[in-house]
Structure 1
Amino acid sequence: METTLDYSNYYSFDLPSPCSKGGVRDFGKLFLPPLYSLVFLFGLLGNLMVVLVLLKYKRLKSMTDVYLFNLAISDLLFVFSLPFWAYYVADQWVFGTALCKIISYVYLVGFYSGIFFIMLMSVDRYLAIVHAIFALRARTLTYGVITSLVIWSVAIFASLPVLLFSTSYTENNNTYCKEKYPGNSTTWKVLSSLEINILGLLIPLGIMFFCYTKIIKTLQRCKNDKKNKAVKMIFAVMVVFLVFWIPYNIVLFLESLVELEIFQDCTFSMELDYALQATEALAFVHCCLNPVIYFFLGEKFRKYIKQLFKTCRRPLRFCKYCSFPQVYASETPSSSHTQSTMDHEIHDAL
């Protein structure tokens, strides 16, 4: 997509003097490579830990486990592309057209699928807490796998333009990796920006807002010891999502207005490029926080992490004693249609 990691905007040489964007490029060289490297490191370690815990202890026995696993895979796809973008922004694209297409495509599939699975997590919590009895039938492993396949299909299909149109080319002694669209490129750029804003923000945000509003109302009505903790988790998910993604989408929208030449001021265009770098980097950090949001704030995950380190005290010996323990009895879903069902579902949703 034109709006994702289009560093040629930062390095534009086709703008008339005196609208030179050399300062934007120098800022990107200094700021972005170390940040992308840190996000790659922490995102890789954190999400690999999530995958390990899910496979070793949870065994993917519920819809929630399936969504969490897929969310971690989405984030891993996303962070996999960051070393390439870090080198690109520091110098230029040196990896050829094939890798330009592949890395751009992998990045965007991870981008879309990650946001979609966060949305599904909201729906999962909504079913677990608002419709606790119905959730016993609806929140099954089979439905979790089916909806996950649908989400991956949508993400793969939505990312196809970047696979088709991305290319590596040299201009003014610099090699770029970006999309070259046929015909009216401005129209394609605007459509790309609208796609990211609609699929990547408006639809997920609307669904999340609906789900969490209903959840909060339900928790306020029911007398449950876990209510305060559940509400705090809900607000944490919403606030983090809004803080890390809305600024980026707002800047993308403003970039569309620049492409349409609604705004033609050079100073505004340069400030927007700086803002795009900053907000895009902020959005990247979110993939590192998903393990914290969905796991490290939960009691079960902390217990599993402690167990993992106890059984793997000697990593240099290739985790000789890391046998796969039996799943705890507490993981077995309750079949009771009483208040204990609500307790179990709220605990599982957290």
Structure 2
Amino acid sequence: MSNNCSFAEVDNMMTYVELIIYIPIFLFGMALNIFALVEFCARLKKSTESTIYMTNLALMDLLLLLPLPFKMHAANHLWPPELLRFCSVLENLYFVGIYGSIYTIMCISADRWVAICYPFKAKLLRSHKAARIICVGVWVVVFSAIFPIIHSFKERDTGNFSCFHRFSEGRWNPSVIICLQVFGFLGPALVIICCSVQTICTLQQSGKTSSQCQACVKIIYSSLGAFLVPFTPSHLAIFLQFLVHQGMINDCSSMTKISLFLQVTMCLSNITCCLDAVCYYFAAREARSLKPSFKISLTRERKHTFSTSEV
């Protein structure tokens, strides 16, 4: 980036904007996710594959929320060099929470797609054990991918530093950003959108207009919104900032606007911890009120459709 362009005004503005955004997100997010864990783990008499994934999503959201107080402090204070390793751990946990949430939402969409679009195969593919194994796999994959990358994001020097800020220039190289965009956002987004569209079409084609069917559609829309609303702007901003670091955008006015856009959208992406609460609400209702008759009727409808297609 150009050394002649000053970002001091943007940085000063963000010291206040971050506090305004983070404080309510932290308070509401902690309350909603702790309540969700209590609801799924203690109050619901019988767990389902959906509640297992939702429990995992709540844990990911809590992991994202825990570093926020330190992130708020770092927005207004430089940290001494002896806290560099502690900062690296916090940054890793923060990004594990973000991308762990993304992959968990993807698993929820895929699981629902299998259950509704392929009810016969679902009996073989879906189980409590399989859901738990997939959740553990998400943790392993995300930790393995995030920790080696984020650990090298900081410039190593002996002076005070800004935690959660000022990542090294080398980390904006094409290989890192392409992997981040493709595997961190675009790939999961494609899976979530395709699964959601096909699931909604299957529900509509079944001709069911019951409240249970409508509840399923609401769950799908809420999950889709909880993914697209917070993560689409932030990853667009990351791509634009990548173009700045590559010298493709070198106008000072554009650079400062992109810097502000990046920091604001990264802050707002944390609202996923609150938006997921909508998914928790519908999932809890589904676990409590979804009757076997709905699944049986949907399966019969799918069987009837398959039979008539053979005629």
Q: Which residue of 1 aligns with 2:246?
A: 260
SS in 1 for 2:162: strand
Q: Which residue of 2 aligns with 1:307?
A: none
Q: Is the counterpart of residue 160 in structure 1 residue 160 in structure 2?
A: no
Q: Which residue of 1 aligns with 2:305?
A: none
TM-score (normalizing by structure 1): 0.76
- How far the C-alpha of 1:25 sits from its partner, in A, is 1.0
Whether the 8 Å contact between 2:60 and 2:101 is mirrored in structure 1 is: yes
Matching residue within 16, 21, 30 for 2:3: 16
**Cα-Cα RMSD:** 2.9
Per-residue CA deviation, residues 251-291 of structure 1 (Å, 9 max, x unaligned), is 11111111111111111110001101221122111111101
> Whose helix proportion is higher, 1 or 2?
2
- How far the C-alpha of 1:61 sits from its partner, in A, is 3.2
Distance 1:64 1:339, change over 3 A: same
Superposed, 1:107-256 pairs within 5 Å as: 107-167=94-154, 175-177=161-163, 185-186=169-170, 188-224=172-208, 225=210, 226-256=212-242
The residue type equivalent to 1:76 in the other structure is: L
User: What percent of counterpart residues are identical?
Assistant: 25
How many angstroms apart in 1 are the aligned matches of 2:125 and 2:157?
53
Whether the 8 Å contact between 1:62 and 1:139 is mirrored in structure 2 is: no
Q: Is the counterpart of residue 47 in structure 1 residue 33 in structure 2?
A: yes
- How far the C-alpha of 1:232 sits from its partner, in A, is 3.7
How many angstroms apart in 2 are the aligned matches of 1:59 and 1:191?
47
Q: Which residue of 2 aligns with 1:98?
A: 85
- How far the C-alpha of 1:227 sits from its partner, in A, is 3.4
The residue type equivalent to 1:220 in the other structure is: Q
The residue type equivalent to 2:27 in the other structure is: L
Q: Which residue of 1 aligns with 2:280?
A: 295
- How far the C-alpha of 1:170 sits from its partner, in A, is 6.3
- How far the C-alpha of 1:64 sits from its partner, in A, is 1.4
Superposed, 1:24-63 pairs within 5 Å as: 24-58=10-44, 61-63=47-49
Per-residue CA deviation, residues 84-121 of structure 1 (Å, 9 max, x unaligned), is 11111122235711211110111111111110000011
- How far the C-alpha of 1:15 sits from its partner, in A, is 4.8
SS in 2 for 1:48: helix
SS in 1 for 2:161: strand
Whether the 8 Å contact between 1:60 and 1:66 is mirrored in structure 2 is: no
How many angstroms apart in 2 are the aligned matches of 1:335 and 1:244?
36
- How far the C-alpha of 1:249 sits from its partner, in A, is 0.8
Distance 1:195 1:32, change over 3 A: same
The residue type equivalent to 1:28 in the other structure is: M
The residue type equivalent to 2:199 in the other structure is: I
Per-residue CA deviation, residues 203-231 of structure 1 (Å, 9 max, x unaligned), is 11110121112112211211221334433
Distance 1:169 1:337, change over 3 A: closer
Distance 1:341 1:138, change over 3 A: same
- How far the C-alpha of 1:192 sits from its partner, in A, is 3.0
How many angstroms apart in 2 are the aligned matches of 1:163 and 1:245?
19
- How far the C-alpha of 1:179 sits from its partner, in A, is 7.5
Structure 2: gaps spanning 5 or more residues: 302-311
Whether the 8 Å contact between 2:223 and 2:276 is mirrored in structure 1 is: no
User: Relative CO higher for 1 or 2, CA cutoff 8 Å, sep ≥ 6?
Assistant: 2
Whether the 8 Å contact between 1:70 and 1:148 is mirrored in structure 2 is: yes
TM-score (normalizing by structure 2): 0.85
- How far the C-alpha of 1:200 sits from its partner, in A, is 2.2
Name which of structure 1's ranges 97-106 and 238-247 shifts more when overlaid on structure 2. Answer: 238-247
